[in-house]
Amino acid sequence: MATPEQQRSRPTRISAADFRALAGRKSTAKPRIKHRAWTAKLDKGPQQPFKLRLPFLPPSINKLFTTVRDPQSGVVKRVLSQKARRIRRLIAAMIDREMNPDALYELHLDIYLSCYTRKGKVRKVDLTNRVKFIEDCVCTALGIDDSHIFRVVLNKHDSEDEVTEIKLNEIDQQSGREAA
């Protein structure tokens, strides 16, 4: 058995922020932290294609946004869902370089998922409403404008595991003009 000196006592005081949180009130606003600027170096020479493999499917447009009401002002807003914000941060953390912002690019998306139901019928999975979110996340993290994507290739593959493979190739200016 523990002696009375060894037993922990309950705290007699809590902070004001903890009290407000326990009372169900909003805690005071925390000061915004200024994060360090992006430090990846830009390669001016010929670039290797960018490749990224995600162990999940990107969220569809239907699951991308949520509606929230600001409790003080009552204003209704459409914001990114928590899952979409998490995926955006994850993709940004996985990318450790920048690409030439003046070049033109071709985006390849290979999405692996089970395409058939148990009865053998084709599952109704719309992949085109998943492309824009992934394109925006990858382009923002790489430091390029998504208007420089001149070609998008989307492939659906039948697989047991849900995987998204992203590949970004630089294309020459002449073939980019032909694509436009």
User: In terms of pTM, does the model score above 0.75?
Assistant: no
pLDDT at 96: 77
CATH code assigned at 144: 3.30.1330.70
Cα distance between residue 109 and residue 164, in whole Å: 7
Classify residue 41: in a domain, yes or no: no
Number of domains in the chain: 1
Classify residue 163: in a domain, yes or no: yes
Cα distance between residue 54 and residue 97, in whole Å: 17
Classify residue 80: in a domain, yes or no: yes
Classify residue 130: in a domain, yes or no: yes
Classify residue 165: in a domain, yes or no: yes
**Is residue 148 a contact partner of residue 103, using CB atoms and an 8 Å limit?**
yes
Classify residue 3: in a domain, yes or no: no
pLDDT tens track for 82-134: 999 998 888 888 887 788 888 889 999 999 988 888 888 888 888 888 899 99
Helix segments in the chain, DSSP class H: 16-22, 61-64, 82-94, 128-142, 173-179
Classify residue 158: in a domain, yes or no: yes
Give 127's Cβ-side CA count (13 Å radius): 19
Domain hosting residue 71, numbered range: 47-179
